[in-house]
Amino acid sequence: MRLLSLSPQTRQYIQEGKLTQGHGKIMVGLDPKLEKKALQTIVGQKLSVREAEKLIKKLKEPETKSKKSKKSPPTSLEKIKEKIDKWGYKTKISNQSLTISFKNENEMETFLTKINQ
């Protein structure tokens, strides 16, 4: 029944024996563009079902990575860090805390003067 949700071309390839039902099962639920791309690659390269599974996994990866890789706007803590980095101080963010490292007491006093201006 699930195979009926495949594109007509994919179903035809299964009927003609160019694809196995195993290939079809792993293609169920793919976006139509990805299904077409997977179909062409599987048939063209005569991939086994296992190889096709790996292919489909790779085809799906960029889709999920692109959603995750969209950078969110910098937080106020990150903005402060960038500003302090530009002043030449070593900074680090961890657990929603900003740590600033100073070489000596004079450098710390210079920093305090800058932020109080």
| Alpha-carbon dihedral 82, 85, 91, 95, rounded to 10 degrees | 0
Q: For position 104, what pLDDT does the model report? A: 92
Distance between CA 89 and CA 13 in Å, rounded?
63
Alpha-carbon span 60 to 54, nearest angstrom? 10
DSSP string, the chain: -GGGGS-HHHHHHHHHTSS-HHHHHHHTT--HHHHHHHHHHHHHHT--HHHHHHHHHHHHHHHHHHHHHSPPPPPHHHHHHHHHHHTT-EEEEETTEEEEE-SSHHHHHHHHHHHH-
| Residue-level pLDDT at 69 | 54
d(Cα 75, Cα 71) in Å, to the nearest integer? 11
**Which amino acid makes up residue 44?**
G
Q: Domain coordinates of the chain in residue numbers?
A: 2-69, 76-116
pLDDT of residue 115: 85
With 0.75 as the threshold, say if the pTM is over it.
Answer: no
Q: What is the pLDDT of residue 96?
A: 82
CB contact at 8 A, 89 and 101? yes
If the chain, 117 residues long, is cut into consecutive pieces of 10 residues, what is the mean pLDDT of each piece?
Answer: 85 90 89 89 90 88 58 80 89 88 91 87
> 2-69 in CATH: which number?
1.10.10.2830
